[in-house]
């Protein structure tokens, strides 16, 4: 599970749910993307520090959000390094398992930019996860600058048509955990299960998954699909567990 946990960790928030379910269902690894202020902010946030401790002690993993502005230079290498260093200084290597490079390009021209970021992170600690988010299938060389790539971010209806073949056949050279999907507008439990079943097909070959019932309208920039966990959160976890075990999906 890859969860865009872009909600503030006040008591009773979705962060409490994350910690509770990480402990209750250890067979499903939950990796949450932490994003205090479009990055780490200027100082430690005590609420985030508390939430991260509870979540990781319950068995969850946290990776830190870093915006990259598609390698355009609007966010410099120095800015990115500062954000990476601050996350580790503020919250510690024991809480931060890696980095989520958002707004990643999918074009060959920006590959060198991302290779520099990847090498910097791995130079700090080779065990830090680097997960890139082009939100679409990139050219194959991007597989060398991230441990995993979000190759689909969008509405559930569009994900049903997701197909890397034939242009992006490189994805089949790797294990399924090389790819991640982030699906929104899966409006009910059955739609969520359909998206997860699509991810598990040989065609999609996608190992990291997340689906939510929340809405986002790209054309008008309306909605926030990552504002909370989905209403069917417990069924989502149970569905992932069933697919992993080759069992029948839980009833909706």
251 part of a folded domain? no
Q: What is the CATH number for 117?
A: 3.20.20.80
Tell me the pLDDT tens digit for each residue of 71-119: 999 999 999 999 999 999 999 999 999 999 999 999 999 999 999 999 9
Tell me the pLDDT tens digit for each residue of 25-74: 999 999 999 999 999 999 999 999 999 999 999 999 999 999 999 999 99
Residue 96 near residue 60, CB atoms below 8 Å: no
Domain that holds residue 94: 2-245
How many domains, the chain?
1
Percent of the chain with pLDDT over 70: 100
- Mean residue pLDDT across the chain: 97
110 part of a folded domain? yes
Residue 78 tokens read as: 């120095």
250 part of a folded domain? no
- Give the pLDDT band of residue 143 (cuts 50, 70, 90): very high
Q: Where are the alpha helices (DSSP H) in 25-147?
A: 46-57, 77-91, 111-124
27 part of a folded domain? yes
142 part of a folded domain? yes
> How many other CB atoms are there within 10 angstroms of residue 66's CB atom?
26
16 part of a folded domain? yes
What integer pLDDT is reported at residue 87 of this predicted model?
Answer: 98
252 part of a folded domain? no
Measured CA distances, 12 to 23, 64, 231 (Å): 16, 22, 15
217 part of a folded domain? yes
Tell me the pLDDT tens digit for each residue of 211-229: 999 999 988 999 999 999 9
What integer pLDDT is reported at residue 10 of this predicted model?
Answer: 93
């Amino acid at each position: 599970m890859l969860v865009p946990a872009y909600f503030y960790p006040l008591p009773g928030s979705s962060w409490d749910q994350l910690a509770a379910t990480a402990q209750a269902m250890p067979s499903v690894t939950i990796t949450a993307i932490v994003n205090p202020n479009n990055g780490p902010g200027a100082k430690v946030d005590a609420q985030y520090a508390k939430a991260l401790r509870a979540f990781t002690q319950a068995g969850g993993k946290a990776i830190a959000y870093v915006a990259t502005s598609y390698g355009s230079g609007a966010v410099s290498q120095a800015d990115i390094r500062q954000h990476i260093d601050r996350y580790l200084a503020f919250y510690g290597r024991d809480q931060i398992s890696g980095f989520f490079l958002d707004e990643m390009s999918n074009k060959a021209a920006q590959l060198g930019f991302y290779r520099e970021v990847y090498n910097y992170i791995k130079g700090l600690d080779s065990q830090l996860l680097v997960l890139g988010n082009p939100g679409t299938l990139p050219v194959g060389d991007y597989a060398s600058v991230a441990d995993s790539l979000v190759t689909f971010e969008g509405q559930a209806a569009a994900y049903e048509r997701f197909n890397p073949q034939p242009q992006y056949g490189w994805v089949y050279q790797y294990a399924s955990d090389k790819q991640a999907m982030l699906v929104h507008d899966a409006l009910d439990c059955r739609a969520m299960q359909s998206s997860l079943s699509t991810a598990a097909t040989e065609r999609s070959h996608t190992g990291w998954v997340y689906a939510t019932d929340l809405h986002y309208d790209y054309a008008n920039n309306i909605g926030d699909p990552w504002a909370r966990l989905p209403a069917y959160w417990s069924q989502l976890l149970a569905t992932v567990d069933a697919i992993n075990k080759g069992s029948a999906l839980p009833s909706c």
